[in-house]
Structure 1
Amino acid sequence: MWFTSSWLVLALAGQVQQSNAGQVQQPSAPVQAQPVDPQADKPIVSDPQFDSALPVLSDDINAPLEPMPAAPGAAPSGNVQPTGANEALAPVMAETPELTAPLPPLGTFDSTPPTEVADIDDKDVVIRYTTVVRGLDDLDLTGQFNGLSALKEGGGKAANAAMITARAREDEALAVRLMKSKGYYDGTAISTIEQPPANAGDPIRAIVSATPGNVYTLSSVKIDAGPVLPPDLLIRELPLKIGDRIEADRIQGAEANLALKLPQQGYPFVAVGQRDILLDDAKWTGDYTLPVDTGPRSSFGTYSTEGKLAFDAKHVGVLARFKDGELYDNRKVDDLRDALVATGLFSTVSVEPRRTGVIAADGTEKVDLLVRQEAGPPRSLAATAGYSTGEGIKVEGSFTHRNVFPPEGALIGTVIAGTQEQGLSGTFRRSNAGKRDRTVTITAAANHSNYDAFNAFTGTLSARISYDSTPIWQKKFTYAFGVELVGTNESVYDFGLGRDARRTYGIAALPSQVQFDTSDSLLNPTKGYRLKFSLSPEASVSGGVRPYARVLVEGSIYQPVSESIVLAGRIRAGTIPGIARDDLAPSRRFYGGGGGSVRGYGYQRLGPFDPNGDPVGGRSINEFSLEARYRFGNFGIVPFIDGGNAYEGITPKGSDLRYGAGIGGRFYTNFGPMRVDVATPLNPRPGDGKVALYISIGQAF
């Protein structure tokens, strides 16, 4: 009552003040005496008239304001018309209906501030709290909730209570989203903040309670798409059925499977649309509909290239493992991309199918494969270094131009500098030579070796055709065959003369080998096995022509026994029939001992000796090795035991083995392990050292 009356009084006073001000601003005029009006002090509206004009108000202070009744004859306008003494004021009409609606109670407003507002950094105030989650354990959602929770992310500390409340409200929404992802679309969640008892010193408890409700299942599964071949392809590759839970992971996984499998079966341009699930909250079910644009059924056609080219589209066809007209399969396209990467000629390369509109006889549309190339630097330098007892220090450097004769014609120059070996070689290598994975190599080399077994100056000219593994493209089956011409001048102990002599040998060989490899790595295998067979028919010319053959069989196995321990074993046996040992060039004989043989003994120190105590090699050999490879992080420890020997005859023996044992350290890098092995002979002969050291790259086998 007072508020309304005062407002009206102030309004009238303002009108009066505005009128007086207007009089002051009038132009000046002579002041004249005015007669005194006896009615001047009489009020315009008497108090009884004013009070009777006021509307009747409710006694309920919380009741909404009531509209003032319109006076008879009042204009239906929002403008207030002048009133007489006995007229009621006309109501002001609202421009929108919402303005006439009652105001909601203040208690219904959510006064919780957003997290970004509540989460202020106030280092002077810290409130500790614990988070309690209820109702999600049975759904296996507690772990996901804890990983995404705003309360958990806060670490149990907040600057103020508003911050805790804001985080709890966020976690309510999180719990509801997680329940929906499991098919509980009626799920609800509520958070409560429990204050500890006064002076208890316990932290506040923020409790998020989830109520999942009923789980929803699929009542129908429909794919909205055109006809495909075979007719059941879509429903077969969308692993959803009536009765399945409407779980986010299940639905998304099924759709991803459809998008993955169709390009493998002739549909490279498939586009999976946005699903629609119509829920029935009375039955707790949902009708699932998925639109799919399959695009045309397609087959392989042409190739095209663009970008900075390493080679042309014709050579791309050499790398492909499919034929023109074959049904499109993106797994074969991925295989082609891997083969392009394995060439090592690109900084980036991609393969993309493109529509051509050309229809084949079987009704499929031909696809053009666009290869986008960005040729990388073709030149590279490489170096390796190692040390072992008997071989000394050995450093090898190489320069390679990988594409000097396109396509994939490489030129490689190699230099070996060591304390006991020096060499120089040049190699031409054509990779993917007319056929995928076929390599043609031609090499010319000059080498000097100075070991206890022999001192040799050797020149070699060789050619080789091979199907090899690479670090990027490891193959189960590999092979190689070729021709080799060797001229060598070597020191040899002449047992007839009883002294050292130098002889020159001419050797022609046809070396070949096959290997079956199921291991998981070339340089650091942890499982699988390898079998290798080598055969080299040869002829030696030194005072006559003497044909013979070098035969070598080798196998290794790798068996993991735990996540950090791998047991590895190797056996090796070889023979050289058809020639006497002393007619065989020393560099072509078998020797045992060294980092890749029986560790603990010097390089080539196992086998028969001459009267001077130098090894002379033999025509047969046998070896074995056992290792326990324990890895922790990027480091490893490898205890090992080796055994073996070389023999003068063509049949290896098992009764005269020499054993070595030791321990190695490994440092694992992204290109292979660095190896350091220390070994000692277990049954040494006179003259054998007590300790042998080997440093190199890669495992021993």
Structure 2
Amino acid sequence: MAFGSKIGNRPLRKRVGRIDRGSRRRRVRNGVRAVWVFALAGAGFVPAIAHAQMGDAKPGQGAPAQPLPQPAPTGSIVRPPVVDPQTPIVPDAIFDQSLPKLSEDINAPLEPLQSFDKPKTPAATTATAAKPEPAAPSAAEGQAFAPLGSVPAEMEAPLPSLAEFKVDPAAAPVDDDSENAPAIRYTTAVTGLDKLRLEDRFEDLSALFQGKGKAANAAMVAARAREDEKLALRLMRSLGYYDGTATSLIEQTPPNSGSVRATIAVTPGTLYRLGTVRIESGATVPPGLLDRELNLNPGDPIQADRVLGAEANVSLRLPQQGYPFVEVGQRDILLDDATHTGDYTLPVTLGPRASFGSVQTAGARQVFDVDHINIFRRYREGAIYDSRKVDDLRQALIATGLFSTVAVEPKRTGEAGPDGTEKVDLLVTQLAGKPRTLAGELGYSTGQGIKLQASWTHRNLFPPEGALTVSSILGTQEQALTTTFRRSNAGMRDRTLLVIASLNHADYDAFESYTTTLSARISRDSTPIWQKRWTYYYGAELVGSNEDRYNFNLGKRDRGTWLIAAIPTFLGYDTSDDLLNPTRGYRIKANASAETSVRGSVRPYARTMVEVDGYYPVASNIVLAGRARFGSINGVSRDELPPSRRYYSGGGGSVRGFGYQELGPRSPDGRAVGGRSFNEFGIEARYRFGNYGIVPFLDAGQVYEGVMPTGRNLRFGAGIGGRLYTNFGPLRIDVATPIARKKNESKIALYISIGQAF
């Protein structure tokens, strides 16, 4: 908020000199007398005023009146009469007698002119009684005013009634952008704001700059310049320059060219600083809490953002330290023009120091009872009130996705708490939202073809937070049907129980499989609303799969059925700033799964994988992102592994430029066979402008038959991508090509999906 004559909503008061009412009264009286002198002269009493004194001689004490000068004959030289400078032209007695009677009350309103009597010619004095009154000289001779002619009838007619006047305002001029509309061009110059570094802010708000150098006429340019004067004053006052001035000048450059130059000249004046800083409030625990959180000190410039930020900090920080009902009043700043300082006063109503009580619920359509809400709490009853804990509870409730609206507010109880505090309950007001969700996703990538995913979810079919999801995949190379039961916050906040049953058919170049899966896991996951630093899961998995493979012992492809039991685990650490579109930080992920495959005999083995992603902003709109991923399978030969449990590389989420699962060893029929280890690397430069982005990238990777990745024979893919940033994440389109392409490899690979590659 800019500081003008007010800071916030409180007026700034400036000390001014006291006005002397007696002096004013004298000035008013002398002014009235002077007016009547000229009025008498106009009425013929004084044809020409050579000298006049007012207020020096008392009535009756002036010198005798001198004879009025006689008009000279036509053509003769007129010499002015010799007049004594000390002698008044009209004696004071005659002058005072000619004046209308005025009210004795100096503050009374002036009487209307119609009530005054027309002045009469005073009786001749002894010196002029014997002489006849001279004839009035003609207007041609310049000795008197010409007589008034006849008054027009319109002037003597009565004024019309006010009701007959049209009071509708004139229509505002309409901007006309047509080619025939009269317009002028103008340029704008601003001086003086550069010292305060306000030029950019002024240009953003300026009426002249927003006009883009075009106006219908010069009057419009002048009106914009006047608005910019006020703007410059507001901007200066927002930085503490309350004596600043701003003037505008409109001129044609060059003259008569139709081109106008508008100049706004600014003089900041002297910077005002805080004099005294005083907070009107009760005592706090600990002492000095308000002074520390306000952090305004004598000598600080009186800047709008500095003052408002300090007051906002009080409103924010006091509820975090036991004062949920604190109220910051209206500030008062008294400016002193002499010292260029302002004395600052802020009233603050603290309210009681509070501690946490119990949870209460309200609402027509409630989702959770008190017992389930208590699972979300990260505080204990009796602890000092902290608004951050309340915000955390509110966020956790919102993250469930079950509410249309939910509010968490402190409520006074009047009950005494520990350490002299008052217990404060939290009132959770609930309004249930629609529990069902229908979602869909469409993607395409080279090697996987088109993939359409659809899902139906009831988020609270088994209260509390027992969700059922039925999803399907329809694609050119994959079809699946999956049913998922999910219990969120299962007995503990952020703990999830997941049970999955699925049927899947996959037909890729590497293998074709029909798979049935039944799995269960307990996890702690991140969501777009509630991103967590540590995530994990552990569980059990039972898989039955019928797959084809290339049998190197037989030298041909055959099919087989495997029964696979696994205990998968995962641990992740995430410091990134966003789940779907990170711009800084890093992520570390580690997977380990103890598995056993049964096909005639039991063959136990272990699958492991580690991934590290990093994000570094090199500029405000450019992010450098990198990824490294490694995997290994120990305890079994490659040919004894089911093809679906081997490692593959290539594709939109792996090494772009290659088809899905295209890298690595190949069978004699030219199809990928997978391996027991792999490594992948990727680097991107994510350039964003508005809601769009361009991403050049380089990926590398390889799959190996051995247990450990060697890093030899890396294959590279390069390309460029486009991004459309939406409120649910970026829409990604990547085009890539292999470097040093080999026979039968993809020439161009295209990937369309939601979310960044990593």
TM-score, normalised via structure 1 length: 0.78
Q: For 1:164 and 1:420, how far apart are their aligned partners in 2? A: 67
| Per-residue deviation, residues 313-340 of structure 1 (Å, max 9, x unmatched) | 3322222222212221212222222222
C-alpha displacement of 1:692: 3.2
Q: For 1:122 and 1:389, how far apart are their aligned partners in 2? A: 57
**Closer, same or farther in 2 for the Cα pair 1:421/1:193, shift >3 Å?**
closer
**Closer, same or farther in 2 for the Cα pair 1:62/1:464, shift >3 Å?**
farther
Indicate conservation of the 8 Å contact 2:229/2:248, yes or no. Answer: no
Q: For 1:683 and 1:160, how far apart are their aligned partners in 2? A: 66
C-alpha displacement of 1:528: 2.3
Q: Which residue of 1 aligns with 2:681?
A: 624
- Indicate the SS of the match to 2:530: coil
Q: For 2:600 and 2:513, how far apart are their aligned partners in 1? A: 18
C-alpha displacement of 1:428: 0.4
Q: Which residue of 2 aligns with 1:579?
A: 636
Q: Which residue of 2 aligns with 1:484?
A: 541
| Per-residue deviation, residues 149-177 of structure 1 (Å, max 9, x unmatched) | 66767777888888777776666665555
Q: For 1:603 and 1:658, how far apart are their aligned partners in 2? A: 14
The partner residue of 1:401 within 430, 453, 458 is 458
C-alpha displacement of 1:142: 5.6
Q: For 1:101 and 1:160, how far apart are their aligned partners in 2? A: 46
Q: Which residue of 2 aligns with 1:569?
A: 626
Q: Which residue of 1 aligns with 2:484?
A: 427
C-alpha displacement of 1:60: 2.0
The partner residue of 2:173 within 121, 124, 128 is 121
Q: For 1:360 and 1:670, how far apart are their aligned partners in 2? A: 44
Q: For 1:614 and 1:334, how far apart are their aligned partners in 2? A: 55
**Closer, same or farther in 2 for the Cα pair 1:313/1:64, shift >3 Å?**
farther
Q: Which amino acid aligns with 2:452?
A: V
Q: For 1:151 and 1:682, how far apart are their aligned partners in 2? A: 55
Indicate conservation of the 8 Å contact 1:184/1:216, yes or no. Answer: yes
Q: For 1:347 and 1:540, how far apart are their aligned partners in 2? A: 47
Structure 1 position 223 matched with structure 2 position 233: no
Structure 1: state its 5+ residue gaps: 1-56, 66-86, 104-115
The partner residue of 2:38 within 35, 56, 60 is 60
**Closer, same or farther in 2 for the Cα pair 1:324/1:91, shift >3 Å?**
same
- Indicate the SS of the match to 2:634: coil
1:365-384 superposed matches below 5 A: 365-384=422-441
**Closer, same or farther in 2 for the Cα pair 1:496/1:277, shift >3 Å?**
closer
Q: For 1:662 and 1:285, how far apart are their aligned partners in 2? A: 62
Q: Which residue of 2 aligns with 1:440?
A: 497
Q: Which residue of 2 aligns with 1:284?
A: 340
- Indicate the SS of the match to 1:688: coil
Q: Which amino acid aligns with 1:98?
A: A
C-alpha displacement of 1:292: 0.6
The partner residue of 1:98 within 108, 114, 134 is 108
The partner residue of 1:265 within 317, 321, 336 is 321
Q: Which residue of 1 aligns with 2:703?
A: 646
Q: Pick which of 335-344 and 168-177 moved more.
A: 168-177
| Per-residue deviation, residues 331-390 of structure 1 (Å, max 9, x unmatched) | 222222222222222232222222111211222112222222232211111112222333
| Per-residue deviation, residues 608-653 of structure 1 (Å, max 9, x unmatched) | 3333333332222222223333444444343333332222221222
| Per-residue deviation, residues 104-163 of structure 1 (Å, max 9, x unmatched) | xxxxxxxxxxxx979942889878877766655544556555655667677778888887
- Indicate the SS of the match to 2:373: helix
Structure 1 position 529 matched with structure 2 position 507: no
Q: Pick which of 150-159 and 410-419 moved more.
A: 150-159
Q: Which amino acid aligns with 1:360?
A: G
The partner residue of 1:611 within 668, 681, 694 is 668
Structure 1 position 244 matched with structure 2 position 300: yes
Tell me how many residue pairs correspond in the alignment: 612
Indicate conservation of the 8 Å contact 2:222/2:250, yes or no. Answer: no
Q: For 1:688 and 1:198, how far apart are their aligned partners in 2? A: 70
Q: Pick which of 523-532 and 625-634 moved more.
A: 625-634
The partner residue of 2:419 within 331, 341, 362 is 362
**Closer, same or farther in 2 for the Cα pair 1:685/1:239, shift >3 Å?**
same
**Closer, same or farther in 2 for the Cα pair 1:488/1:209, shift >3 Å?**
closer
Q: Which amino acid aligns with 1:512?
A: T
- Indicate the SS of the match to 1:253: helix
Q: Which amino acid aligns with 2:291?
A: I
C-alpha displacement of 1:666: 3.1
Q: Which residue of 1 aligns with 2:733?
A: 676
C-alpha displacement of 1:236: 0.7
Q: Which residue of 1 aligns with 2:506?
A: 449
Structure 1 position 234 matched with structure 2 position 212: no
Q: For 1:163 and 1:633, how far apart are their aligned partners in 2? A: 34
Q: Which amino acid aligns with 1:306?
A: A
Q: For 2:479 and 2:186, how far apart are their aligned partners in 1? A: 73
| Per-residue deviation, residues 660-695 of structure 1 (Å, max 9, x unmatched) | 333333333332233333333334555434333333
Q: For 2:276 and 2:319, how far apart are their aligned partners in 1? A: 26
| Per-residue deviation, residues 65-96 of structure 1 (Å, max 9, x unmatched) | 9xxxxxxxxxxxxxxxxxxxxx9999697999
| Per-residue deviation, residues 288-321 of structure 1 (Å, max 9, x unmatched) | 2211101111122222222232222332222222
Q: Which amino acid aligns with 1:443?
A: I
Q: For 1:225 and 1:687, how far apart are their aligned partners in 2? A: 80
- Indicate the SS of the match to 1:98: coil
* Higher RCO, Cα 8 Å, sep 6+: 2
Q: Which residue of 2 aligns with 1:331?
A: 388
**Closer, same or farther in 2 for the Cα pair 1:450/1:291, shift >3 Å?**
same
Indicate conservation of the 8 Å contact 1:173/1:189, yes or no. Answer: no
Indicate conservation of the 8 Å contact 1:383/1:397, yes or no. Answer: yes
C-alpha displacement of 1:413: 0.2
TM-score, normalised via structure 2 length: 0.72
C-alpha displacement of 1:243: 1.9
- Indicate the SS of the match to 1:235: helix
**Closer, same or farther in 2 for the Cα pair 1:619/1:178, shift >3 Å?**
closer
- Indicate the SS of the match to 1:605: coil
**Closer, same or farther in 2 for the Cα pair 1:169/1:229, shift >3 Å?**
same
Structure 2: state its 5+ residue gaps: 1-34, 44-96, 114-167, 176-180
Identity of aligned residues (%): 59
**Closer, same or farther in 2 for the Cα pair 1:267/1:642, shift >3 Å?**
same
